[in-house]
Amino acid sequence: MLYCIEMNVAIPHGLDPDTVAKLKADEKARAQELQRQGKWLHLWRVAGRYANISVFDVETHDELHDILSGLPLFPFMTMRVTPLARHPSAIG
């Protein structure tokens, strides 16, 4: 099942810089792990914002929920989840 996810990150300004650095490093490691597993197919930065647009390929809605809620930066994210279906005019 394919999903397009828009993730917007808003880390509080007063958060300890060492904590922020650790969260960002953990987030990067987890994102790369999920990409290697074939779960996180695309990861695109949104220019000018602390945000990304990503495509995930997972077996179930519950798997997607577990992946997203397990991201280190999840407590500081708002997300829009859009399920995707093949378009009848697509040639690929």
Q: Under the phi-then-psi rule, with left for phi > 0, alpha for psi from -120 to 50, and beta for the rest, what region is 76?
A: alpha
**Domains of the chain, first to last:** 2-78 (3.30.70.1060)
CB atoms within 10 A of CB 41: 13
- Is 0.85 topped by the overall pTM? yes
d(CA 58, CA 38): 9
Whose structure tokens read 């279906």?
85
Residue at token pair 């695309």: 42
**pLDDT digit string (tens) for the chain, length 92 residues:** 999 999 999 999 999 999 999 999 999 999 999 999 999 999 999 999 999 999 999 999 999 999 999 999 999 999 999 999 999 999 97
Tell me: the pLDDT tens digits for 27-52?
999 999 999 999 999 999 999 999 99
